[in-house]
């Protein structure tokens, strides 16, 4: 009476439903994770431009100061006459 191990080929409907629900949940999670990652990437890209913009502003301020000094010198020279 040697009966080997037998595997039944029937799959319960509950198991199939559970697999479908888990797969749907995994896909929804992956989609949400992709959205969060996209938002983080956009934020990093926006912040990457900040140092360059700051350098441009500093250069403009330096040029404005030089112009202001020249104007002040001319005004002072006009007062001395």
DSSP 4-44: ---------HHHHHHHHHHHHHHHHHHHHHHHHHHHHHHHH
Query: Could you give the dihedral angle defined by the CA atoms of residues 16, 20, 25 and 28, in that order, rounded to the nearest 10 degrees?
Result: 170
Residue 67 has a pLDDT of: 97
6-15, 16-25, 26-35, 63-72: range with lowest mean pLDDT: 6-15
35 has pLDDT over 80? yes
Residue 8 has a pLDDT of: 75
Identify the DSSP state of 3: -
How do residues 49-69 score in pLDDT, each as one tens digit?
888 889 999 999 999 999 999
């Amino acid at each position: 009476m040697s009966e080997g191990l037998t595997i039944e080929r029937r799959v319960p409907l509950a198991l199939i439903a559970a697999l479908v629900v888990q797969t749907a949940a995994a896909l929804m999670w992956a989609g949400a994770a992709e959205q969060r990652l996209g938002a983080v990437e956009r934020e990093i890209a926006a912040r990457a431009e900040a140092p360059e913009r700051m350098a441009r502003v500093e250069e403009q301020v330096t040029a404005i100061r030089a112009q202001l000094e020249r104007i002040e010198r001319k005004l002072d020279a006009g007062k001395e006459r």
